[in-house]
Amino acid sequence: MTAIPSLQSCISQSAQPADTDIDSQSAPQQPSSLSFTEGFLLGQLSVVILIGAFIKFFIFGDPPSPETTASTRALARQSHDKGHRRSFSINSSPHVAGSSDVRHSSSNVLRNPPRLTTPIILAKTYYNVNAHQPESLDWFNVLIAQTIAQFRTDAHQDEAILTSLTKILNGPQKPDFLSSIRITEISLGEDFPILSNCRVHPVDDGSTEPDAAKLQARMDVDLSDLITFGIETKIVLNWPRPLTAVLPVALAVSVVRFSGTLSISFLPSVSHPTPSTHPSSSSHSQQPLSTTPTSLAFSFLPDYRLDLNVRSLVGSRSRLQDIPKIAQMVENRLHAWIDERCVEPRVQQIALPSLWPRKKNTRGPPSEEDDGLGIRASEPMRDIREEARREVEEERKKDREHWEREAAGGHPEGLRWRSRAEGGGYEMPGAMPL
């Protein structure tokens, strides 16, 4: 009997810790569920705040003023130029190894002119770089205006600019996520650039020779116009399957103003030996000379200013118009495109044609000397010669087709068998008798 109460007491003592463990495990379940809900709500709220801040500051944020943007870009270009100082000038000629060893054939008839250095050229043209006043270039502005006006007239007549630009935009370099690009607007403007404040000064090109500085002309350029180029396309999402989503996009970029300093100089022609493919023959014979033509080099100083007006339209039903961040992206891309091509230290070179007067380049009415010597034929005689030449070519073509048809009709042995088949007595020289 005493064993039964002791057994009951053991069971009651062992049951008490189990109950306490169950209570301790069930008690913290309610606070954990509350912390998960709070964390979930806090995460959703943070995502909404991030999306709202992105839309407000990235898409609909106010762009900086043009003056602030221009000054920031100018400072960035100056710091970039200090870090990457160019090793050559706009007037520096390319150095070719072995060019100093080239010797031109001497002639007693063609006298060698004296060497013209920069001080001699300035003295002979009565130009003092320190005292000469800057020029206005009014006459040059008129010539440039006539050239641009003719270019605009030609572009409107045959629409060649529209066809060429459409072909370029839809070429192989077009990204895959863009559909066909259609040009919606092209305006070449109505005003003309104004060049002023032109001054000439010598520039050192890094040569060790004395008085080797080249001459460079610098002038201010100012253009206030409205040159517009507009396109429209569609951004296509091809993942996870083709044409998953399509977003229409329309963009129009207008150049409102451009101002800067233009540098122009001439690069003289340089003769250097052509590299030979046979090294053994170059030691016994003189290498042929290759001449680089005279070129015109121009570039803009880094402090130029380009003001653009970018209009954008994104979407089909609910459209977003004139998004500032798209305008900033387009402006940065255009500025980078210009900086990489024609902003110092980079230059653009244009090869100049030969300025020596030639007869084939002469235009105008024929002179009496040409008529008397028969050098220049009249237009009717030229037409008669062209017509006679065409008739002779047509007769030759007909004869050639006739002989080809006869050869295909059963006389493959040649001209001798065709002549005998036609009944003629013609034989080829040295023919064997039959």
DSSP string across 222-264: EEEEEEEEEEEEEEEE-SSSTTSEEEEEEEEEEEEEEEEEEEE
pLDDT at 1: 45
pLDDT at position 26 over 70: no
If you average pLDDT over residues 158-186, what whole number do you get? 89
Q: What does the pLDDT look like over 37-59, one tens digit per residue?
A: 888 888 888 888 888 887 777 66
Backbone angles phi, psi at 151, to 5 degrees: -65, -40
Split at pLDDT 50, 70, 90, the class of 285 is: low
DSSP symbol at 302: T
pLDDT at position 155 over 70: yes
Split at pLDDT 50, 70, 90, the class of 208 is: low
What's the CA gap between 385 and 392, in Å, rounded? 11
Tell me which residue of 321, 322, 189 sits closest to 257, measured CA to CA: 189
Q: Rounded mean pLDDT of the chain?
A: 75
DSSP symbol at 84: T
302 vs 35, more confident:
302
- Find which of 5-14, 59-68, 74-83, 311-320 is predicted with most confidence, using mean pLDDT: 311-320
Are the C-beta atoms of residues 266 and 297 closer than 8 Å to each other? Answer: yes
212 vs 363, more confident:
363
What's the CA gap between 201 and 91, in Å, rounded? 12
For residue 227, count CB atoms less than 10 angstroms from its CB and return exposed for 0-12, middle for 13-18, buried for 19 or more.
Answer: middle
